[in-house]
Amino acid sequence: MDSLNPQVALPHRVDNVAPVAEAAGTQIQMVYLGTCTGGRASDYHEALRVLEAGGGPAPGVELVVVPASRAVLDTLTADGTIAAFESMGAKVGAPGCGSCCGTCGPIPCDGINVISTANRNFKGRMGNDEAAIYLASPGQLRRGGGARCDRGSAGVEPMTGRARVFGDDVNTDYIITSRRKRESIDPQYLRGYLFEELDPAFAATVKPEDLIVAGKNFGCGSAMEVAVTALLGAGIRAVLARSFSRTYYRNAVNNGLLPVVCETRGIREGDRLTIADGRC
């Protein structure tokens, strides 16, 4: 066993295996840790040691953490591992499959190279057949390199705007109430009633290109897309939050509203913000 060299499965077949050294120099834009095959507590401990030894993910690399089960998530939360990953800017998803099968969570955009601890790398496996997936053990997840690119931020020019700040758990009925949705789903109509229960003056003071800033779990609640399109109707092009409801994140991407996961606790109402390459 001591004579074996670390291996990596190259795109787009699980049996397209080569020594890790043969893939040296490949730029990586997403590191995906988790799911059923690479989401045990011991896997995360190993990966964290590698990342800490290397100084964390390289600038612009997206780090995604999806524990295999609730029990694993509880263990990692209790021992501080989740907090350590979050301090590196990781997106921590709900336990389960996550992006592995391409149905939820961050989806790599065109041309992205992903290194993953999952067990499949077939073309289109993570929801985009223009991405390339490399499979490796947690211990082989190096720092990577290259520019970060979410499907939500691909090709988006830098944008600057005024921060409009809200708190945690802003649900879709706070964005636009059910009563207004029954009256109309026209974004130009609904823009006049945005956040009316949280900030009655918001609709009268919102300006095109304002940026919504929130805490955790933005967009929880209903899956109706009007909570996205109503913001677009007001000229809002991006929402910055510490985390999003998975459904809202997907609806935002599908409708052209940029969801940016970042630390927002230091942002104040009226601050001027610039978003570039999906980062604030």
pLDDT tens-digit series, residues 132-141: 999 888 877 6
- Whether 156 shows a pLDDT value over 60: the answer reads no
Domains and CATH numbers, the chain: 7-140 (3.30.499.10), 159-275 (3.20.19.10)
Question: Is 0.95 surpassed by the pTM of this model?
Answer: no
Share of the chain above pLDDT 90, in %: 32
pLDDT tens-digit series, residues 81-97: 999 988 888 888 888 87
Specify whether the CB–CB gap between 217 and 244 falls below 8 A.
yes
- Whether 1 shows a pLDDT value over 70: the answer reads no
